[in-house]
Homo-oligomer: A and B are copies of this chain.
């Protein structure tokens, strides 16, 4: 019986740092520059191979993915659902417009597949941390958003980075929400164990760990929802290198047993 557990293992240690002082984000702002300024003002630095996690909310705001409820004309379906469940018909209408498939319409909940492929409640059309009368939508292409922030930040700091655009999703079977990765740049979203052996020389059953999602969850711990910290740095992680994408995490309908 091989005793890999007894081998000397180097100490692995991560740091997770919330970036304070990010101002309210206006449409059209260069998010990379804005984040770089906040990092500088806070006396923080960015190191080679850091992972920058950015909350979807500020990405959507910077990209103008903000709608004015007053401009929305609800469809008959949106009206009926809103009336039955005490919702704002304009909000329901936006959810329907952002969807390509409705998985569940039950107990006032709308679980949808968005046109980007995310499965989530209300297509993550969100009114929180947004001025009254406005809602944010998900970024049009979160992978492109991550790539753009990465490019701006790498130019700013002269180092190699990975960037994750994160958001807060519910899930079946378990209460509470967790942060997941919508967009990824500068790393692979998975650590792939396929074909690797465990300490007993047996092929591992667990195949792929969605580390991009785990990194998004990690960053949430220093972000919170009311602290105004929409950006975090994760340092010390030997993340899987390469040009991966958040869309790789989306399971296709054909491979899914719960759609």
Given contacts A221-B214, A228-B7, A229-B12, contact A256 B208 (CB under 8 A): no
Given contacts A7-B228, A132-B200, A193-B225, contact A209 B178 (CB under 8 A): yes
- Whether the Cβ atoms of A174 and B249 lie closer than 8 Å is yes
Binds B, one of A65-73, A78-86, A122-130, A141-149: A122-130
Bound: A189/B211 CA distance, A? 21
* 21 interchain pairs, CB-CB under 8 A: A1-B24, A9-B20, A12-B227, A13-B15, A14-B16, A15-B16, A16-B16, A106-B257, A111-B257, A119-B172, A127-B205, A128-B204, A129-B198, A174-B180, A174-B251, A175-B248, A176-B211, A176-B249, A196-B225, A214-B221, A258-B258
| Chain A binding surface SS class | loop
Q: Which residues of A contact B (CB under 8 A)?
A: 1, 3-18, 20-24, 42, 44, 104, 106-107, 109, 111, 119, 126-132, 168, 171-180, 189-191, 193, 196-200, 202-211, 213-215, 217-218, 220-222, 224-229, 237, 248-251, 255-259
